Amino acid sequence: MTRYFASEKKNRQRWLGIKGREISAVKKEAEQLLSEWELEAMLEKSQRDRLKVERPQNSAYVTGVSGIKMKFVRHVKRRESRAKKPKPGRKKIYTSVIYTPYFVVSGSVEGKKYIRKFNIKTLGFDLAWLKAVSYLAETKRIKQFDHLLSKKPPVQQFKLIRNWQNQQGYEIPEHRLPDELLDESSAANDNAATASVMEANLKLMSSSAK
């Protein structure tokens, strides 16, 4: 008898001898054991399903499409000192750290791993998502992927990702957020400033009328 158990990651086997025993007795024992194993496997699955529901999401990078994550990727740029004769003790090589928002597509097909990043700063949020989903579909040979495109996450999620990554020790400045968020913030500030000016003008007109 054989039954696969996910918790053990292998088949559980039991051999039942029939020598000197009645077939009906052996069959009854086998059915009882199989019933016990089925119940045990069902309880295991129930526990796994419950943990999936109760366990908080341990990654802020999820997009809703398996194989595509969204995150800030750290790049270290190095440049040589422009000084012809650097002062004693001064490094000749300077480094700077830049964080860039990306859609990262990764996984494996037939045992071969793949990974590709799509720069949201240069492509824009919508085009980067289109290219990321298209690449995933091409790699996995998915002909119809409109349902994947429709799962595009909100660009505002990058605010949460930035906060989460900074809590993990990163130092991502606000200006490295996707431009769509920066434009949104700038527009909000402009609207607030316009409203403030209009309010001041109304007060001035009101006082003049008196």
For position 23, what pLDDT does the model report?
78
Cβ contacts of 106 within 8 Å, gap of 6 or more: 67, 69, 113, 114, 115, 116
Distance CA 16, CA 14 (A): 6
Cite the beta strand spans of 6-54 per DSSP E.
10-13
For position 55, what pLDDT does the model report?
46
Residues of the chain with pLDDT under 70: 1-10, 37, 46-59, 81-92, 185-210
The contacts found for 110-114 with CB under 8 angstroms, 24 or more apart, are 114/139
For position 56, what pLDDT does the model report?
44
Q: Where are the domains of the chain?
A: 2-54, 68-179
| Residue 12 three-state SS | strand
CB atoms within 10 A of CB 32: 10
Q: Which helix (H) or strand (E) holds 109?
A: strand 93-109
Contact 77, 100 (CB under 8 A): no
For position 58, what pLDDT does the model report?
47
> What number of CA atoms fall less than 13 Å from residue 196's CA on the CB side?
6
Q: Is the pTM of this model over 0.75?
A: no
Chain segment 112-170, per-residue pLDDT in tens: 999 999 999 999 999 999 999 999 999 999 999 999 999 999 999 999 999 999 998 99
Distance CA 207, CA 210 (A): 5
The two three-digit tokens of residue 134, written as one number: 């298209």
